[in-house]
Amino acid sequence: MSSVNYDTENDIIDNKDDSVICLTFSTTLRFDNLIEVIIKLVRLIEINENKQIERLNIVLSSDIELAKLNSKYRNIYGPTDVLTFNLTDDFDESKLNTQNTQTAIGISGDIYISADRVIAQSIERSVEPKDEFLHLLAHGLLHLFGWTHEDDVSLSKIIQTGEKYITMSYHGN
């Protein structure tokens, strides 16, 4: 298995209309060559899910860090591939992106992705690490926008939807 070294670097990769996307690499596994695709993917899902992002932090970290977060916030012990946190102030789903601009708020959130899981799962799925990263990012974004999966059917639906958005972001649809 590949090992991943850690060294934190944070970049604002898109700042448009009071909507900020930050990407933090806490590993030497980097996807700088995907910045445009990442922005397209985020903006495409935002539009198609009829949501508005105020601030999004995408953090590529380690199994150790995700295991700590998983334990602290979900009471689940062990690493996971992606964790999503909705950090919207005074979170009230009824206020999200409503037609009444006085009550509409954008979504703020953090999406943590394990670089270790990106490598392991890309090997398991016989895909490139960049493709696994985008798969996990799309999955995390859909969670941020309210998607859940409690069973195999809903899990399959969220995966298919994420893959559709990834394809669209590459082909500009």
Count of domains observed in the chain? 1
**Ordered per-residue pLDDT tens for the chain, 173 residues:** 333 443 444 565 656 666 777 777 776 677 777 888 888 999 999 999 998 888 899 999 999 999 999 999 999 998 899 999 998 865 555 444 444 343 446 889 999 999 999 999 999 999 999 999 999 999 999 999 999 988 999 999 999 999 999 999 887 65
Please give the Cα distance from 160 to 102 (Å, whole number): 35
Within a domain: residue 73?
Answer: yes
Residue 1, in any domain of the structure: no
Q: Are 108 and 144 in contact (CB under 8 A)?
A: no
The predicted structure's pLDDT at residue 95: 44
In a domain, residue 41? The reply is yes
In a domain, 3, yes or no: no
3-state class (DSSP) for residue 47: helix
| H or E stretch covering 16 | strand 9-16
The tokens of 161 are what? 């939807």
Report the CATH number at residue 118.
3.40.390.30
pLDDT at 18: 65
Is 77 in a helix, a strand, or coil?
coil
Model pTM score: 0.82
Q: Is 67 exposed, middle or buried, given 0-12, 13-18 or 19+ CB atoms closer than 10 A? A: middle
Q: How many CA atoms lie within 13 A of 126 on its CB side?
A: 0
Q: Which domain holds residue 27?
A: 9-171
The pLDDT score that the predictor gives to residue 13 is: 62
Q: Looking at the domain assignment, is residue 61 inside a domain? A: yes
- CB–CB of 86/107 below 8 Å? yes
Specify if 49 maps to a domain: yes
pLDDT score, position 29: 73
pLDDT of residue 90: 53
